[in-house]
């Protein structure tokens, strides 16, 4: 061994650390700074391509989708996923998807030493939860013809270029649309389309959509708050490969020893739920209109709920919805449950005996509480006459400034009083929020979330009345003393104006 100086020897570990650091930094920089060179596109060309891309059925694929929410207030309004693989953590959540066609899908939510799986094989849908070791089989209703896996008809009218033109004209007055630096997403070259609201009353600074250069499908959507360069919300592929996944992903045999439940989903149950539940302050994202309906559908720009819902987001929520249902139902807020029960009662045939009617309603209620699967009798009684829902949360305003508002609810008002005074009957004198005693809240996710929400909120008042305002990077929530909840990606002034307008 030749004699090396002490300094030379210490240069080795220093070099190793330096190389490690450089490799890590270079990988980070390279992935951030890598700019694929692609033929340049105008926003209009891009929109046309997207429309074309969405018109083409999405082929079989395997992908991982990651959602990151950094709203400055972790997952407050989201209900905890009971028995689910993940808790209500604010960290990135990702799911892996194996997709052959809309009828052959597997979605797995993987967490440390746990997994929730949804496997759809034709009409059979299995939900597997490793934590509880339960397998639930849903027999889905026979499919109404849905035009294969193509796009939902309404959103892309006419030719792609016409659709693009239409979209641009529609959003033009409210939104600045531009093309940004190209990026790699899930190792695929992508264009970036940026939508910037013109109104300064919107909390949204920009929405950036990465569009696959070859397949013209959205790969990632990022939402930036106004005046911030930190992503507040993003959803996108972290891995994406095309090609049919193995058939073993779709069929499922419950392992021996597991608890097996069997549920037959009536034809219109999902639509009942879909109408009754969304918008109930944050729950909406978890229960989309109808499972499986929106695969490949594109609704750009400020949608019905004031947020961009790209195909990817729809894909995930659409396919995950049935997985969430069984976990989610028992925790429905009582008033929502009553609404659903009322819908159910209305949907029953008119000629039933009173006792029969009461028994059916009771059975359905128990099912809703997650205690028992629906019996054949109940399912048989569920005709097609489920009427459209009423008294659901409304959307006030339009475009970027749209706000979701629940009607004033005595329950919410009582819960607010309870959370603030410890007594639902106490007067409405404006209390200091921080003197609120910790009170076990009434059941129901919205009501359960209220105390925490109120603790983080600041009391506000104005000509419109009194309430509590929760401010996050991207969403403001206003709870009024009358029990009305308003939420939107808008400045508080818009919420106040909406309350006033709603009351007036």
What residue ranges bind another protein (CB under 8 A)? 1-4, 6, 9-10, 12-13, 16-17, 20, 24, 83, 89-91, 108, 110, 112-115, 117, 126, 128, 130-133, 135, 246, 248-249, 252-258
Strand partners, 69: 233
Please name the residues in contact with 377: beta carbons below 8 A apart, sequence gap of 6 or more: 360, 363
Residue 414 Cβ vs another protein, minimum distance, rounded to whole Å: 31
> Which tokens in the block code for residue 454?
């109120």
Residue 107 Cβ vs another protein, minimum distance, rounded to whole Å: 12
Residue 257 Cβ vs another protein, minimum distance, rounded to whole Å: 4
The side-by-side arrangement of strands in the sheet containing 175-185 is 175-185, 188-197, 204-212, 218-225, 233-242, 61-69, 93-101, 104-111, 114-121, 124-129, 134-139, 259-264
**Spatial contact of 313 and 69, defined as CB atoms under 8 Å apart:** no
Residue 136 Cβ vs another protein, minimum distance, rounded to whole Å: 11
Please name the residues in contact with 322: beta carbons below 8 A apart, sequence gap of 6 or more: 118, 125, 127, 138, 265, 291
Residue 98 Cβ vs another protein, minimum distance, rounded to whole Å: 9
Nearer to another protein, 112 or 142 (CB): 112
Nearer to another protein, 40 or 256 (CB): 256
How many other CB atoms are there within 10 angstroms of residue 97's CB atom? 24
Cα–Cα nearest to 411, from 331, 502, 335: 335
How many other CB atoms are there within 10 angstroms of residue 345's CB atom? 13
Nearer to another protein, 60 or 424 (CB): 60
**Spatial contact of 276 and 270, defined as CB atoms under 8 Å apart:** no
Residue 14 Cβ vs another protein, minimum distance, rounded to whole Å: 8
Residue 20 Cβ vs another protein, minimum distance, rounded to whole Å: 6
Nearer to another protein, 229 or 253 (CB): 253
Q: Is 207 helix (H, G, I), strand (E, B) or coil?
A: strand
Residue 286 Cβ vs another protein, minimum distance, rounded to whole Å: 21
**Spatial contact of 472 and 233, defined as CB atoms under 8 Å apart:** no
Nearer to another protein, 15 or 158 (CB): 15
Alpha-carbon dihedral sign for residues 146, 149, 155, 157:
negative
Nearer to another protein, 49 or 117 (CB): 117
C-alpha distance from residue 97 to each of 57, 217, 242, 255, 285 (Å): 16, 16, 11, 21, 19
């Amino acid at each position: 061994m030749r004699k090396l100086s002490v300094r030379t020897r210490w240069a080795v570990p220093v070099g190793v650390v330096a190389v490690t650091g450089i490799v890590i930094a270079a990988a980070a920089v390279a992935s951030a700074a890598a700019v694929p060179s692609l033929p340049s596109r105008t926003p209009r060309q891009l929109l046309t391509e997207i429309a074309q891309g969405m018109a083409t059925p999405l082929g079989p694929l395997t992908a991982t989708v990651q959602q990151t929410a950094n709203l400055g207030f972790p997952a407050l309004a989201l209900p905890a996923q009971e028995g689910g693989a993940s808790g209500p953590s604010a960290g990135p959540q990702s799911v892996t998807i194996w997709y052959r066609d809309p009828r052959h899908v597997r979605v797995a939510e993987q967490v440390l030493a746990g997994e929730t799986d949804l496997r759809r094989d034709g009409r059979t849908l299995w939900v597997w939860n490793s934590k509880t070791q339960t397998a639930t089989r849903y027999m889905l209703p026979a499919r109404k013809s849905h035009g294969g896996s193509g796009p939902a008809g309404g959103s892309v009218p006419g030719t792609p270029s016409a659709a693009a033109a239409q979209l641009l004209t529609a959003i033009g007055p409210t939104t600045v649309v531009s093309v940004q630096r190209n990026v790699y997403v899930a190792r695929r070259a992508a264009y970036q389309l940026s939508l910037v609201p013109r109104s300064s009353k919107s909390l949204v600074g920009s929405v950036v959509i990465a569009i696959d250069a070859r397949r013209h499908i959205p790969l990632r959507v990022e939402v930036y708050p106004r005046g911030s360069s930190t992503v507040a919300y993003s959803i996108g592929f972290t891995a994406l490969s095309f090609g049919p996944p193995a058939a073993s992903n779709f069929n499922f045999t419950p392992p021996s020893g597991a608890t097996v439940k069997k549920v037959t989903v009536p034809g219109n149950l999902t639509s009942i739920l879909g109408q009754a539940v969304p918008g109930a302050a944050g729950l909406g994202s978890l229960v989309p209109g109808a499972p499986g309906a929106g695969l490949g559908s594109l609704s750009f720009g400020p949608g019905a709920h004031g947020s961009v819902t790209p195909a990817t987001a729809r894909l995930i929520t659409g396919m995950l919805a049935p997985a969430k249902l069984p976990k989610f139902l028992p925790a429905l807020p009582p008033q929502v449950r009553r609404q659903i029960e009322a819908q159910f009662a209305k949907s029953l045939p008119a000629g039933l005996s009173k006792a029969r009617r009461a028994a059916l309603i009771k059975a359905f209620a128990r099912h809703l509480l997650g205690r028992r699967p629906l019996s054949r009798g109940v399912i048989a009684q569920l005709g097609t006459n489920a009427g459209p829902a009423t008294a659901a949360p409304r959307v006030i305003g339009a475009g970027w400034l749209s706000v979701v508002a629940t009607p004033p609810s005595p329950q919410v008002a009582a819960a607010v009083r309870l959370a603030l005074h410890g007594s639902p009957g106490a007067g409405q004198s404006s209390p200091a929020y921080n003197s609120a005693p910790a009170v076990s809240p009434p059941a129901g996710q919205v009501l359960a979330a209220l105390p925490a929400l109120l603790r983080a909120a600041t009391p506000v008042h104005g000509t419109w009345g009194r309430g509590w305002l929760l401010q996050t990077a991207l969403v403001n929530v206003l709870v009024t003393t009358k029990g009305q909840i308003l939420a939107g990606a808008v400045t508080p002034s818009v919420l106040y104006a909406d309350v006033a307008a709603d009351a007036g």
